[in-house]
Each structure stands twice: as C-alpha cells, then as structure tokens.
Amino acid sequence: MTKEIVKERLIGQFGEQLTEWSEPFALLTFRAPAELNLKVMQFLFDDEGLAFRFLTDLTAVHYPDRKGEELCVVYHLHSLTNNIRLRLKVYVPIEKPDVFTAEKLFSGANWMERETYDFYGVNFVGHPNLTRILNVDEMDYFPMRKEYELEDPTRIDKDDEMFGR
C-alpha cells in the first residue's frame, strides 16, 4: 500500500470534494468539506485495504485572516497494518464552528474533541459530553484563538530580573 493508492481510493470515492492535496514532511495531507469529515473518516476506517483505524491526534488551528474558514480542525490518522499516516483538514467559520463528532468511530476522540472545544470553541455535533475539560467552566472565551493582543513587552513585572534570570 502506498500514499498514491490511498489518494486514488479517496478520489475514487469522493471525487473533487477532496482538495488541497500535499505531502509536507512526507505526510499525505488533504482538505475535505466540513459536512463530509465523518464520511471520509468512516470510509478510511471501513475500507479493508486502507484500514485507517487509529486516530493519532485531533486539534484545531485558528486562522483569523481566512474569512469564512477561520477555524481548521486537523485529524491525524494512522493505518497500522499499512504503516501509512495521513492528515485530514476541515475548515469552518468561527460564527458556526460545527463539525460532526468522530467519537463513535474512534473512542479516543472523546477527550481530544473536548480539549479542542475547550481551547478553540469547535462544536462537535453529536458529542455525548462536549464540556470544558481543562479550563474552568466559567471561562467565556477560547484561549487558543488569536483574538487577543500580545502582552506589552515593557511591563516591568515580566522582566527576567524578577525571575532570577
């Protein structure tokens, strides 16, 4: 099994709906529409030849300058039998950051989706317990979004001398 065969199988199943194919650092990477994230992962999981049955990582990235697709949910999947990894990207607008949950397909997604919700505000539709997991419940913002100015570098309480350096 090669990355080219994986790409051919995906294009054969989903056609032109999958875009932005690349291989940064030899990692097959592509983009899918948000409404297809679960269908693409289900296909990768169910296809006996592909067998992408391990979710290595799930996170998000905030791109404040990309209007209408400010949040990118990134999935890293691994086919242990074929020893091939891939990256799936799904972009959603910050006003309606809805993505279908992968928790039923990969039980490890439960924690990762809660963490991604907690820090970026991505709403995983269908998740059984989408609540904050690391931050306090009273927090009314998502700290990993790039919506806040950097700290003032002239603050004296942040001077290295204050910390013995």
Distance CA 112, CA 120 (A): 12
Q: Is the pLDDT of residue 62 over 80?
A: yes
Residue 38 is part of a domain; what is its CATH number?
3.30.460.80
Which residues, listed in sequence order, are joined to residue 29 by a DSSP beta bridge?
22, 87
Give me 42's structure tokens: 């289900």
Average pLDDT taken over every residue of the chain:
93
Looking at the 3D structure of the chain, how many domains does it have?
Answer: 1
Q: Is pLDDT of 98 > 90?
A: yes
31 pLDDT more than 60: yes
Domain that holds residue 104: 3-163
Provide the pLDDT for residue 158. Answer: 66
% the chain with pLDDT above 70? 92
The pLDDT score that the predictor gives to residue 57 is 97
User: Which H helix or E strand runs over 92?
Assistant: strand 84-92
